[in-house]
Amino acid sequence: MIEVVVPATSANFGPGFDTLGVSLNLYNRFYIEEIEKGLVIEGCAEEYKNEDNLVYTSMKRCFKKLGYKEEGIRIIIESDIPSSRGLGSSAACIVGGILGANSIAGNKLNKDEMLKLATEIEGHPDNVAPAILGGMTAAIYEDNNVYYDKIKIKEGIKFCALIPNFKLSTEKSREVLPKEVAYKDAVFNVGRVSLMITSLINGNYDLLKIACKDKLHEPYRSRLIEDYDKIIDLCNDSGALGVFLSGAGPTIMILLEEKNTQFYKNIKGLLKNLKKVWKFKELHMDLKGAIAKEY
């Protein structure tokens, strides 16, 4: 039996659309083993217990790459990452499947090779890179290659995820994006990505409120999230260092000083007055990334 533990991820970090992501200490666990024949999937909704399951299809891609022939597979899923909320649940399934298959086939792929395969499946590396590597990453996909670097965030910062009781599919959130963006909006984001990275590395957290701003996807996706602007204002007024839409949404991610304990008391009461139910979860960076072990 192989156990694969994959962290949640928050991508599109501030203005880092499709490039910046961070792994967080919220996990999906996948227990995978070979069986005599067939496919058995447990721990998920009935509609996903078939050969189209993302964990299984990712395993098949990995097996094909390695030239490994499996007879049958059993997958048990324990999921703590909420699906379709912008916290990398799909990336976790892809990474879980690849690490599981790689372990069964004899660990022939290194992390860079697994990252490339995961990116080919996902289409972009902003979630799968931090899921595999841990911490915060900057990653791009060009000419069928993944180029990445890790960003060492200075100590003293933590995260708070505001997770609503409704889903938002990546497909739907992609549909609202424009085909082209204004030159000034591109320049706006380039400047803030630069400021974001240096602020996190140097610990100049007073700059994050400005650096978190985005004009490439949040103005369009925020329209799909009720009370979005009100929540952003509430978070900023309650002492947030910065606020941004996590992934494709609808989860909203807040950056906080490690010592800030008052934020939760403030925001809890304010969220009760909103039409939708929002839950907050304090999170920290996961520095290890996905881990597979056999037992």
Task: Please enumerate, by residue number, every residue annotated as part of a binding site.
Answer: 82-92
Q: Please, are residues 94 and 120 in contact by the beta-carbon 8 Å criterion? A: no
**Under 8 Å between Cβ of 20 and 138:** yes
> In angstroms, what is the C-alpha Rg of the chain?
19
Q: Are 212 and 192 in contact (CB under 8 A)?
A: yes
Distance of CA 87 to the CA centre of its chain: 4
Q: Where are the alpha helices (DSSP H) in 138-249?
A: 170-175, 183-202, 208-211, 218-221, 228-237
Is-contact 277 190, C-beta < 8 A?
no
Cis peptide before 250 (omega within 30 of 0): yes
Q: Which residues are documented as binding site for ATP?
A: 82-92
Letter string b/e over residues 225-254, b meaning 16 or more CB atoms within 10 A of that residue's CB: bebbeebbebbeebebbbbbbbbbbbbbbb
